[in-house]
């Protein structure tokens, strides 16, 4: 059902959305970016994730002018590589050992 709703909404957006006048002035392109950022922020919970996001975002700004949106693809690859590299470089912290309850008789 979710896939069907997605497809119907996309079809409505393509057909009906073109009939609404002056949609460029609404700033919806900015709203899409803010929505995407809002969806991503809760998932950035570790240092490797944070560095991957920051590096991808930084490279996206640096490569914004590349043709055919190749800078975006390049930036995603940089983010993935930085995240992977950081995951392999940061040693995992040992899991805490569960202490056994003390015997009240002692």
pLDDT digits (tens, 9 = 90+) for 7-42: 999 999 889 887 888 877 877 778 888 888 898 888
Give the mean pLDDT of 70-85: 96
- Residue 20: what pLDDT? 83
CA distances (Å), 85 to each of 49, 50, 56, 69, 103, in order? 11, 13, 14, 25, 46
Which residues, 6+ apart, have CB-to-CB distance to 59 below 8 Å?
71, 74, 75, 78, 79
- Residue 19: what pLDDT? 85
State the pTM of this model. Answer: 0.61
Nearest Cα residue to 58 out of 81, 34, 78: 78
- Residue 36: what pLDDT? 84
Q: What angle do CA 64, 65, 66 make, to 5 degrees?
A: 95
């Amino acid at each position: 059902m979710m896939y069907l709703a997605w497809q119907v909404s996309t079809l409505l957006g393509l057909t009906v959305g073109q009939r609404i006048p002056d949609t460029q002035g609404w700033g919806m392109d900015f709203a899409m970016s803010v929505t995407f950022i809002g969806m991503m922020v809760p998932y950035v919970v570790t240092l490797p994730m944070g560095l991957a996001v920051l590096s991808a975002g930084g490279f996206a700004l640096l490569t914004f002018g590349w043709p055919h949106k190749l800078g975006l693809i390049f930036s995603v690859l940089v983010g993935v590589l930085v995240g992977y590299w950081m995951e392999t470089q940061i040693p995992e912290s040992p899991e805490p050992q569960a202490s056994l309850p003390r015997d009240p008789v002692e």
